[in-house]
Amino acid sequence: MLDKCVDAAVRKIFRVSSSDNCAFIRICLGLYHIEDFVRIRTIKLMYKLVTKQFPNNVVQIGLSELFDFNDYND
């Protein structure tokens, strides 16, 4: 739903009608899918919360099934 809102804004701002052009502009501007933003923020949150209690290598081994910590850039 939020992706459709972002698409509508990009179409209005850049006056494009094709969904391919809209997708290309979003990639160029770094406006990736909302799901990607949420996933990365969840990884950052989990990483920060859990590393306060456990050593870094234990966290990555224990949560590697749930999250890909290679996406985390602090």
pLDDT digits (tens, 9 = 90+) for 30-74: 888 888 888 888 878 877 777 777 666 555 655 565 556 565 555
Judgement on whether residues 11 and 24 belong to the same structural domain of the protein: yes
The whole-number pLDDT of residue 59 equals 57
Residue 23: domain span: 2-32
Structural domain count, the chain: 2
Judgement on whether residues 39 and 24 belong to the same structural domain of the protein: no
Judgement on whether residues 54 and 66 belong to the same structural domain of the protein: yes
Could you give the CA distance from residue 53 to residue 59 in angstroms, rounded to a whole number? Answer: 9
Burial grade of 65 (CB within 10 A; 0-12, 13-18, 19 or more): exposed
Enter the pTM of the model. Answer: 0.54
